[in-house]
Amino acid sequence: MKKVECVIRPMKIEEVKEALASIGIVGMTVSDVRGYGRQRGRTEKYRGNTYVVSLLPKVKIEVVVPDDRVEEVIETALRAAQTGEIGDGKIFVTHVEEAIRIRTGERGEAAL
């Protein structure tokens, strides 16, 4: 099993969620996060003063999928989240040793 983490623009969450649901991925964890990459934040003006906002709002989607679905999930999320501009986000893939459904005690892929 693998965990796919997508850190994306907040405005893209519905598109990514719907795209993943269309391929049968329904279980996910969504978190509001803040950060920056190459874009290094942005400058804003408020009441005549200039402020540098260095940590930008992002959304992190986490899904755990069987190994054979990883590439499909990555490609689907990539197409849905991409705008072609700096700040689109990142996708990370990590190995998951074990998954356990608390309600039933099922383990491994059966718990997904």
Strand pairing category for 42-46 and 49-53: antiparallel
Reported as a single tens digit per residue, the pLDDT across 80-97 is 999 998 889 999 999 999
- Look at the chain and report how many structural domains it folds into: 1
Query: Does the structure show a pLDDT above 80 at 46?
Result: no
Residues found in the chain: 112
**pTM score:** 0.85
Domain that holds residue 62: 2-111
**Number of Cβ within a 10 Å radius of residue 106:** 13
Residue 52 has pLDDT above 90, yes or no: no
